[in-house]
Structure 1
Amino acid sequence: MPNNTINPAQAFEITSLINATEQSIASRILAKTTGGNLTLFAFDKGQGLSEHSAPFDAIVMVIEGELTLIIDGQPVKAVPGTIVRMPANVPHAVEAPQAAIMLLIMLREITQNTN
């Protein structure tokens, strides 16, 4: 698989695309374009991402486990089957009270060249 992304026109079991790491966070970019990235994360219990912000929207979809997303200071519980939008330029963090796998979709604004 070139650049560690997934091959086109193939079906994959999403949980097979990443290996969880004990007491750590694993990540793998599944697709990357100028419009955004699709990244798979595996969090071990108790792991997380400290508060930060991004200049574009991000969508979180939980595949396994449970995550608490702290968005602008407000906790949002995310479990399998849920989807959460984290708006651009708003501080957010991720906490894993149990082992979890999430799909992160980063949506970049594409500016049109009007020349």
Structure 2
Amino acid sequence: MEFNADTLEKVDKSRKKRDELRGKVLTLKDLVDYQNGTVASRMIVNTKAGSITLFSFDEDEGLSEHTAPFDAVVTILDGECEVWVQGVTYQMKEGDTIIFPAGIPHALSAVTRFKMSLTMIRENES
């Protein structure tokens, strides 16, 4: 990422939007809108310790198989999806949660439009 005045302004605006959420009761699925034909996201917490990002997936959208350096906790907020963890398939719906283990291949795909919360906690290397 190139850091210039525009980039710094975008980062500052994003941080201010996150700060506006603090100390308020939130309905997570209302904080990210569906967008036709794509995946949308909104980071609501971003610290050295970890992050929480909300995603919306249009029907037939998804994330291809990948790994992450830390456990990833995914909670479905709306709709239905299919996830794969090291070759095992799971059907998930609103209210369901799964933990993708660090370093293990996983992927997901929308069955219907769906929204999810992704929580990543970075390990302290002490």
Q: Quick check: TM above 0.5?
A: yes
Contact persistence 1:34–1:110 (CA under 8 A) = no
Q: Kindly, what percent of the aligned residue pairs are identical? A: 33
Give RMSD over aligned pairs: 1.3
Are 2:18 and 1:5 aligned? yes
Which of residues 22, 35, 57 is equivalent to 1:43?
57
Are 2:31 and 1:14 aligned? no
Alignment of 1:88-103 (within 5 A): 88-103=102-117
| Code of the aligned partner of 1:108 | R
Paired with 2:82 and 2:50, the residues of 1 have a C-alpha distance of 23
Partner of 1:79: 93
Partner of 1:53: 67
After alignment, is 22-31 or 9-18 more displaced? Answer: 9-18
Uncovered stretches (5+) of structure 1, i.e. residues with no partner: none
After alignment, is 51-60 or 3-12 more displaced? Answer: 3-12
**Deviating runs (4+, > 4 A) in structure 1?**
none
> Shift in Å at residue 11 of structure 1?
1.3
Q: Which has the higher helix share?
A: 2
Q: Deviations for 1:55-84, whole angstroms, at most 9, x for unmatched residues? A: 100001001001111111111111111110
